Amino acid sequence: MALLIGDIAPDFEAETSEGHIHFYDHIDGKWAVLFSHPKNFTPVCTTELGYTAKLKPEFDRRGVVVVGLSVDELKNHEGWSRDIEETQGQKLNFPLIADHNREIASKYEMIHPNADTSLTVRSVYVIGPDKKIKLKIEYPASTGRNFDEVLRVIDSLQLTARHSVATPVNWKQGEDVIIASSLSDEQAKQKFPNGWTAPKPYIRIVPQPAS
Ligand code: BEZ
């Protein structure tokens, strides 16, 4: 059965570049990003891993645990990590799972057999503190992801969790947000006592709440 937004993210144990982890213990009730990359020692993956490692302080600032996954063997990760540092100017600073038997990749549906029977696609899961899947994106192997977009989505997800707001098209940090339609006007008045602008009754716009 497909893993969908709102489902509980499967637990697992894994060997990683930073030792053995038990996923649920590792994320420990925090937000988490679990992402796959198709293969070590390949060009697009090298750029993605280096950039994600550079963004680590941004993930930390948001309280997000980052975990990468490939279906390569653990012994491969070390040499590749040196290449990432040499070519991207940043070494790995988060655990990279060595899922050589593809157990975790299968649980998380990261292998799309009609694309490639043995390598993963580029999957990203964002998992909430309640262990539920909040976001799922999938790119083909040939297209590097935009990890600034992953951070942008996390900002939106965290605002929704904290303030019952949604974010409009192309929203960025600091821009106006929309009161969630799950709140009645009465409930919205409690949360947003300064009111809102409403070009239509179902579009209630407020400044972004302070986090
Ligand atoms: C890459 O990272 O460049 C790559 C990896 C697997 C298949 C295609 C491209």
In short, whether 121's Cβ falls inside 6 Å of ligand 1 is no
Q: State whether CATH 3.40.30.10 applies to domain 13-145.
A: yes
Token pair belonging to 80: 């590749």
> Crossing angle of helices 43-54/74-88, nearest 10°?
70
DSSP 8-state assignment for residue 10: P
45 as an active site residue: the answer is yes
Q: What is the pLDDT of residues 19-40, one digit of tens each?
A: 999 999 999 999 999 999 999 9
Q: What is the pLDDT of residues 102-148, one digit of tens each?
A: 999 999 999 999 999 999 999 999 999 999 999 999 999 999 999 99
Cβ(55)–Cβ(147) below 8 Å: yes
- Please give the distance, rounded to the nearest whole angstrom, from the Cα atom of residue 43 to the centre of ligand 1: 6
**CATH class belonging to 163-206:** alpha beta
Quote the pLDDT of residue 143: 98
In short, whether 115's Cβ falls inside 6 Å of ligand 1 is no
Per the confidence metrics, is the pTM higher than 0.95? Answer: yes
Q: What is the pLDDT of residues 37-65, one digit of tens each?
A: 999 999 999 999 999 999 999 999 999 99
Domain with CATH 3.30.1020.10 in the chain: 163-206
Q: How far is CA 119 from CA 40, 99, 171, 188, in A?
A: 10, 11, 33, 47
CA dist., res. 125 & res. 107, Å (int): 12
Terminal-to-terminal C-alpha distance of the chain: 36
Domain with CATH 3.40.30.10 in the chain: 13-145
In short, whether 39's Cβ falls inside 6 Å of ligand 1 is yes
